[in-house]
Amino acid sequence: MNISFYKYQGTGNDFVIIDNRNGDFLKNDQQLIAKLCDRKFGVGADGLILLEENETVDFTMRYYNADGKEGSMCGNGGRCVVHFANYLGIISDKTQFEAVDGIHKATINDGIISLKMNDVESVTVNSNYVFLDTGSPHHVQLVENLKDFDVEKEGRLIRNSIYGKEGSNVNFVEAINENNFAVRTYERGVEAETLSCGTGVTAVALALAETNEINKNKIILNTEGGNLKVLFNKTISGYTDVFLEGPATQVFKGVWK
């Protein structure tokens, strides 16, 4: 079976995206998905996304990690699939779609995708890190000399030793100046560092607000793959009106035989 696919990237976080509105893709074939994502024997990607039909909103986003297992919400993937839906003519400059964590709204303006994330009520502040769920679980930890930090070694250790089998994504953060922070992320499912993580930078922004490291309701975060903006409203009970903003780019299209 020939599989038409599109390669996308959002600040270096890359995905294989497939139009599966006809339902032909073998989405229970974990080995096939993992092979498509393999960087040496496949197309190569941090994850795979299926765009599927939905009776009540514009489409459904179904996300799989690079290991072939269905994953939790992916922020950069969400921005990329919105771009893809626009490319297919399903939407124009705004949309509502369904993901594993519920309904999301998004807009497109001059190539920038603004994706509304879920509200966050629970933020756990520990002595040297913060934990919260922004559609995916995230550990946020401030470090020094991030450029030379061993993200894969330390991220893998934290992912497994603190969070067990289910694991957590792990974000290491360093202040550049008062309102500018750099982020590097170890992603579960990929089991390696990725150039960017959308739910990760969202978690970092809220963690910095929760610990009073920032005093504004918007922040630009520098990832290895580019800059992302996070906007939010801090309330007594948590965080609402959380938006992840940044570019999404179609790299190429092809056919898997």
Q: How far is CA 244 from CA 35, 38, 69, 219, in A?
A: 29, 27, 24, 10
Q: Is 37 a catalytic residue?
A: no
User: Residue 117 in contact with residue 243, Cβ under 8 Å?
Assistant: yes
Q: Give the chain's length.
A: 257
Q: Is 80 a catalytic residue?
A: no
Instruction: Give Cβ neighbours of residue 44 (< 8 Å, ≥ 6 apart).
Output: 14, 37, 38
Catalytic residue among 34, 36, 140, 197: 197
In terms of DSSP H, where are the helices of the chain?
30-37, 75-88, 151-161, 198-210
CB 154 within 8 A of CB 142: no
Is 235 exposed, middle or buried, given 0-12, 13-18 or 19+ CB atoms closer than 10 A? exposed
Q: Which of 36, 50, 61, 74 is catalytic?
A: 74
Catalytic (active-site) positions: 74, 197
